[in-house]
Chain A
């Protein structure tokens, strides 16, 4: 049997198997992680509302510092957006500046939250031994703060990438992941802040 004959025999015409719709798995996994974080805080804020409807609820007073912190975290999201846009346009100086500012604002937020605990104590709102409502403030801000610290570490990694010129318009992946997470935590804080203001 000749060789060419073989080849023709092996030529098949079949319908095309379509590539299923998909996105980057890592990005998708991050979104799922954020869903689980939302469920965590959803559980606590629901528990808060249920508990609040009970008799004997001591209304909380949020120290003014938390408003300042809210502004800080909003500003950090803004500077991250600027950095992100700069990276897409390969404006590396602006990218680095934006990331450094975001990093510092993130640190400022966490430190501000810790100082906020001092203010809470001065207002006689304690984590333990006092009212449940006060304990809730610590749990909500504390766990959010832990997530914030993880985001700051992530941002530090991205920052070091940026200084080693590994982030530019053709290599945006880590920055994308990091900004998604960062904005999510900013949004989450905004939610918690407004929630605590609305339902003291």
Chain B
């Protein structure tokens, strides 16, 4: 064991806990099911997220069939959907609403929040910060199991006779607050609310852990300016979640009281069948304010981790330091702050004060600045790099592309005047699917390709990865690009059919194209699934550092045990982006290499750091035999 470091531990509780529970072997249950190891928990989140992605994707195909081919006979879906297919072979219109609602809920929360943050924050924060595990392994385990419970509740709502929630993923009252309004506002909505309450608990438990770990559990030398951008992104994401999810909880609890206890926070002056309901004095707009105070930051909860993953993958595979490291952090911070003060741009048509609308419009458009900084930095990192087009790299570049095409339309929608025309049309659907849906999904897939060797000790197949990328990339563009035109033409979202409107007749081909492309794109994900599970067992064995990356996770053994590093946690001496440093022997220098060992490539200020003798900045390390 190599253990003669000079530093001593003064933080008794923290380190006593953090360092002692390395390698203890448990049985199957404690190792794989109720594990407190962040790597296992990350995989649990990943598998559950993939399961949900599959469900969410298939749900979207069912309603795309209805939208693209309204005349089609869907009797063949009866074995799965049963009574939800009407005797005429059509999807039940109320079930259509439930499909849209569940697709949104599943994708936004269960896949791109839990599946993305849950997987990669859990997996990478301790590994890249140099910690044995999360600050509290127990809380981390609870976080997964609350998510699991929430998943079970949400999943079971798919099978009840009145169907799952049908009020849209934004569950606006009064529709969602009145069980008698539609079938989807009955038991399905109750289960939705219960499930989301559990989900929020899971997110908060996870988020508290992520923030605590990043701040308090970093290894020696890992200052904030040496953190990989992935960790920065997860850190900001967790902070945003910590501040915004309680607000959703507040909103949801009041909705539960309105639905089940008879209060009137969101309800007023409602007549059903000519009879006035007893609710008076509430305001539906109030819910929208509370909801979007979470809802908008949620966009960045979904997007920022994907951007962090992209920063890491692009720098590694372009063999260049990330361009503008501090600008990247600054822009993420700026985005995180702005995300809290733009929520009312979702509400321009609620009759809000136009002056207030102008303020929200201005703040919204400012988001373009940090976003553009990020895109600029990605492109300049690629500029003149020795680019290696691994599947992870392709998906990361794909993310940048979608972030741009989807982000541009945000400038239109952020304008209060244009939004009045485009509000609740397919233009909005196209916008957010590109900028937060597809972009984040690409980030997630890129992350899986990139860190698969660390997760499972084997490599995924590159060729299948390329096929997966190109079909998905082209397919996603074919799905969402035409939607802009459909939206500008005035197609409203969430409509069951457009066959009754003469004006929309000219667009039925375009809708059919979108649906066909959606089937193709979802189909291509099975290539990924095959690649994933095949490589898990039969893939090429991964070397310790397959991408020749600098960050700490690649210094662990091929199958890191609970505790990550067999000996002492490595110390960190440099930032994570020393790729192709002039003068260096290789085109990357891991973070664990001290400047004193690389005199050939040190910059003057780095030489300052290794001034020897007597100033307390040096340490003598005796390496014993391993």
Chain A interface residues toward B at CB < 8 A: 7, 10-20, 22-26, 28-29, 32-33, 35-37, 39-40, 42-44, 47, 50-51, 54, 56-58, 127-129, 131-132, 135, 139, 143, 173
> B residues within 8 A CB of A129?
262, 278
Q: How far apart are the CA atoms of A50 and B253 in the complex, in Å?
A: 17
Question: B364 an interface residue at 8 Å Cβ cutoff?
Answer: no
**Known pairs A12-B623, A50-B289; A20 contacts B246 (CB<8 A):** no
Please list 30 pairs of residues, one from A and one from B, whose beta carbons are closer than 8 Å in the complex, sorted by A's number: A10-B622, A10-B624, A15-B596, A16-B617, A17-B572, A17-B619, A19-B7, A20-B220, A20-B224, A22-B215, A22-B217, A22-B218, A23-B11, A24-B11, A25-B18, A25-B216, A28-B212, A28-B216, A32-B242, A39-B243, A40-B246, A40-B247, A40-B250, A43-B293, A50-B283, A50-B289, A51-B286, A128-B262, A135-B257, A135-B265
Q: Are B621 and A14 in contact (CB under 8 A)?
A: yes
Q: How far apart are the CA atoms of A36 and B251 in the complex, in Å?
A: 14
Q: Are B257 and A36 in contact (CB under 8 A)?
A: no
> B residues within 8 A CB of A57?
281
Within 8 A of A (CB), among B197-242: 204, 207-209, 211-213, 215-224, 242
Cβ 8 A contact of B286, one of A24, A37, A47, A128: A47
Q: How far apart are the CA atoms of A10 and B625 in the complex, in Å?
A: 9
Chain B interface residues toward A at CB < 8 A: 6-7, 11, 13-14, 17-18, 135-136, 139, 204, 207-209, 211-213, 215-224, 242-247, 249-251, 253-254, 257, 261-265, 278, 280-283, 286, 289-290, 293, 571-573, 594-597, 609-610, 612, 616-624
> B residues within 8 A CB of A47?
250, 254, 265, 286, 289-290
Q: Are A14 and B618 in contact (CB under 8 A)?
A: yes
**Known pairs A29-B139, A36-B204; A17 contacts B571 (CB<8 A):** yes
Scoring A25, A47, A135 by chain B CB atoms within 10 A of each residue's CB, the highest score goes to: A25
Q: How far apart are the CA atoms of A25 and B15 in the complex, in Å?
A: 9
Across the two chains, which residue of chain B brings its CB closest to A56? Answer: B281
Q: How far apart are the CA atoms of A36 and B220 in the complex, in Å?
A: 30
Cβ 8 A contact of B242, one of A36, A56, A173: A36
Q: How far apart are the CA atoms of A58 and B282 in the complex, in Å?
A: 12
> A residues within 8 A CB of B211?
28, 32
Q: How far apart are the CA atoms of A19 and B9 in the complex, in Å?
A: 9
Query: 9 new A-B pairs (CB below 8 Å) besides A17-B220, A50-B283?
Result: A10-B623, A15-B617, A22-B216, A23-B215, A23-B216, A28-B135, A39-B246, A42-B247, A132-B263
Across the two chains, which residue of chain B brings its CB closest to A23? Answer: B216
Q: How far apart are the CA atoms of A36 and B571 in the complex, in Å?
A: 33
Please give me the 10 A-B residue pairs with the lowest Cβ-Cβ distance, nearest first.
A17-B221, A17-B571, A25-B135, A43-B250, A128-B262, A14-B594, A22-B216, A39-B246, A17-B220, A40-B246
Q: How far apart are the CA atoms of A16 and B572 in the complex, in Å?
A: 9
Cβ 8 A contact of A139, one of B18, B254, B610, B619: B254
Q: Are A24 and B245 in contact (CB under 8 A)?
A: no
Q: Are B257 and A139 in contact (CB under 8 A)?
A: yes
Across the two chains, which residue of chain B brings its CB closest to A32? Answer: B208
Q: Are B222 and A20 in contact (CB under 8 A)?
A: yes
> A residues within 8 A CB of B290?
43, 47
Q: Are B243 and A15 in contact (CB under 8 A)?
A: no
Scoring A15, A19, A37, A39 by chain B CB atoms within 10 A of each residue's CB, the highest score goes to: A15
> B residues within 8 A CB of A16?
6-7, 616-619
Across the two chains, which residue of chain A brings its CB closest to B211? Answer: A32
**Distance (whole angstroms) from the CB of A124 to the closest CB of chain B:** 15
> A residues within 8 A CB of B217?
22, 25
**Distance (whole angstroms) from the CB of B620 to the closest CB of chain A:** 6
Across the two chains, which residue of chain A brings its CB closest to B2? Answer: A10
Across the two chains, which residue of chain B brings its CB closest to A18? Answer: B221
Q: Are B620 and A13 in contact (CB under 8 A)?
A: yes
> B residues within 8 A CB of A50?
283, 286, 289
**Distance (whole angstroms) from the CB of A40 to the closest CB of chain B:** 4
Q: How far apart are the CA atoms of A13 and B619 in the complex, in Å?
A: 6
Q: How far apart are the CA atoms of A29 and B244 in the complex, in Å?
A: 17
